[in-house]
A and B are shown apart, each in its own frame.
Chain A
Amino acid sequence: MTLDVLQMVLVTIVAAATPLMIAALGELVVERSGVLNLGVEGMMVLGAATGFAVAVETGSTLAGAVAGAGAGLALSALFGILTVVLAANQIASGLAMTILGLGLSGLVGASYVGMKRESAPHLAIPGLTDLPGIGRLFFGQDAFVYAGFALVAGIAWFLWRTRAGLALRAIGDDHTSTHALGLKVRKVRFLAVLFGGACAGLAGAYLSLAYTPFWAPAMTAGRGWIALALVVFASWRPLRVMAGAMLFGGATVLQLHAQAAGLGLPGQALSALPYLATILALVLLSLGRRQGGSVAPASLGRVFTPFR
């Protein structure tokens, strides 16, 4: 395998990992605040449809990306009203958001099926992008990829280096005590839900604007669910989300390359690798702790009503 082929494979792995990474980072913040949002797939697919529609109408990829994130945010606002304000069951509400998102995306995207546009522009720095072996990998990606990595750093910094981040994590671990201390549990959770929705929408917009630049119904093909698994796999840590996304994306891409190269690897088994890896990670995490148990935020999925 020559250096250029190796680079090409790495570039495709990063491209395959980016939507998983962005959606999972958003969900990580949501879950760290104690809310389980199973509507990621719906928010993602709605972001893909809206992003593509707006990009076609305005001719601007940036406007499309912003609109995609906005669509995810709008749907997550509905989820937030249901679960945070009205204290409805999070699992049922999240699943409802996935149904709604898939339905709405079909509606939004209906008149854009079969259209195509150029994919989002890639960075091109004369001298750097042409570097053999590493140029395209580091200096030739599109803006979504760089945004994804910036999010990793930003979220890691926010959660562990700021007061607000500490408050968010504390709320996710014990909403009753933090409420008693005077922290605004519902406000923080609602904002976290909005952030997660915007990330899911952005990840969807990446699919329809950069990855495969067209809109087709249900084009997310389950990536929202993989992002949910990824958060668990990463034990709610941003850097591990990044590593996990590369692993999950890499497993898919590498097995396709292995087939094309004629290496006799069983494709079906490799397709199941991300899920097996998640289960393995859960087992290892559980064994690694002295008393066993989960590293999940302690209040994850539990509804909070302050006046009871």
Chain B
Amino acid sequence: MGMIKGVAVAVALALGLGAAQAQEKLAGKLKVGFIYVGPVADFGYSFQHDQSRKALLAAMPDKVETSFLENVPEADSERSIESLARSGHQLIFTTSFGFMEPTLKVAKKFPKVKFEHATGYKRSANVSTYSARFYEGRYICGEIAGRLSKTGTVGYIASFPIPEVVSGINAFMLGAQSVNPNIKLKIVWVNTWFDPGKEAEAAKALLAQGADILSQHTDSAAPLQEAEKQGKFAFGQSSDQMRFAPKAQLTSIVDDWDGYVIGEAKAVLDGTWKSHDTWGGIKEGMVVLAPFANMPDDVKAKAEASKKAIADGTLHPFKGPVLKQDGSVAVKEGETAPDPMILGMNWYVKGIDDKLPN
């Protein structure tokens, strides 16, 4: 696996660097670089980031120019980040959690270049971090699943046991429990972000165990397709995947980075850029839900209402009381989980019948 990824990046680097050099010295424009962990054509996470690059280009065509490197493996990202910094990029977005340490290292060498690291938690004078409150969307998905599931069992395909994934599972379960306290959640860990075959097998296994709705925290459309084939329902991931499963997709949590990326580029151009941390959700427009589909109107209306309630702050997915699996209190009645707790979540909420891998 490591080898193929290394190979892929060699190709990507060769192509990307060529592009970067060709664009060099178009004088006066702000050069903005992007590093993606996957292919821009994944129709998921990296695709959505590339959409924001295009949006930036469309918003200020005479002020910025952009380049990107795709399929950059996390272990080999330092070289890629440095190559962008060296070729005159003044603002660089490193868009995967695993790019955190390499970003900080390169940032130290290039103090005048501004760096933006997605989903990380370490900052410095010229490194900002940003992420989205995906768990807000997952809570609403959980509510929908709780209302629609006929078997009372929902399947969840999970990638790696990191806090972002675990908080997503918890938010989903809390949402589902809020409408059906007896709902069962079956979780399968596939240990990959992207392997269509394995994701499809996981979907089949969950459906065979009686799940009639699937949720996923992996990047391919294979689980959606499997649900479609068997006449069941599923939630899309990262971008609107309706085209893959027009009869199965209920909604999809869409990452929308456009506003943030454009805002940061503006700040650099105006000279007002400062290192900071941004964690936006439904309210800020960073987390968008694809149009609700394949569900009755009353479920749709309730989902819309929850969306509004989360946006205006009257509904918080981790509103107390939240109990851990063993029954101990994690969030007290009347309180909501503080951000550091959500960002470091490594426990399941009560009702989840699964052991968290470590």
Chain A interfacial positions (CB closer than 8 Å to B) = 5, 8-9, 12, 16, 19, 41, 95, 98-99, 102-103, 106, 109-110, 113-116, 119, 207, 211-214, 216-219, 221-223, 225, 252-253, 256-257, 259-262, 264, 266-268, 271
Contact = CB atoms under 8 A, between A and B. Distances in A.
Interface string B155-176: 1000000000000000000000
Instruction: Specify the main secondary structure of chain A where it touches its partner.
Output: helix
Interface string B187-228: 111111011111111101110110100000000111001000
B22 interface: no
20 contacts: A5-B208, A8-B208, A12-B205, A16-B197, A99-B8, A110-B41, A114-B243, A116-B244, A212-B196, A212-B197, A212-B200, A214-B244, A216-B39, A216-B43, A217-B39, A219-B196, A252-B198, A256-B198, A256-B205, A268-B191
Given A216-B41, A221-B195, A261 B209 contact: yes
B41 A225 contact: no
Interface stretch (B56-64, B264-272, B297-305, B349-357): B349-357
B186 interface: yes
A185 B155 CA distance: 55
Nearest to A211: B197
B190 A212 contact: no
A120 B192 CA distance: 26
A260 B206 contact: yes
A16 B201 CA distance: 8
A218 B189 contact: no
Contacts of B10: 99
A113 B43 contact: yes
B11 interface: yes
B26 interface: no
A214 B42 contact: no
Nearest to A213: B225
Contacts of B8: 99, 102, 218
B7 interface: yes
Given A212-B197, A256-B201, A225 B11 contact: no
A95 B7 contact: yes
A213 B243 CA distance: 13
A266 B222 CA distance: 24
Given A98-B7, A221-B192, A113 B208 contact: no
A217 B41 contact: yes
Given A109-B41, A212-B225, A262-B354, 7 more contacts: A99-B11, A114-B43, A212-B199, A218-B194, A221-B194, A253-B205, A256-B201
Nearest to B46: A217
Interface size class of B (residues with CB under 8 A): 35 or more
A99 B6 CA distance: 9
Contact of B196 (A5, A216, A256, A257): A216
Contact of B225 (A116, A218, A223): A116
Nearest to A262: B353
B230 to A, nearest CB: 11
B186 A262 contact: yes
B208 A212 contact: no
Contacts of A262: 186, 353-354
A216 B224 CA distance: 14
Contacts of A119: 229
A9 B206 CA distance: 12
A217 B197 contact: no
B313 to A, nearest CB: 36
A252 B188 CA distance: 12
A16 B15 CA distance: 34
Contact of B191 (A41, A102, A260, A267): A267
A239 to B, nearest CB: 24
Given A217-B39, A217-B42, A98 B201 contact: no
A214 B225 contact: yes
Contact of B197 (A102, A221, A268): A221
Contacts of B194: 216, 218, 221
B201 A259 contact: no
Interface string B178-189: 000000001111
Contacts of A99: 7-8, 10-11
Given A116-B244, A259-B188, A262-B186, A218 B205 contact: no
Contacts of B11: 99, 102-103
Contact of A116 (B7, B71, B243): B243
Contact of A260 (B195, B197, B202, B355): B202
A267 B202 CA distance: 12
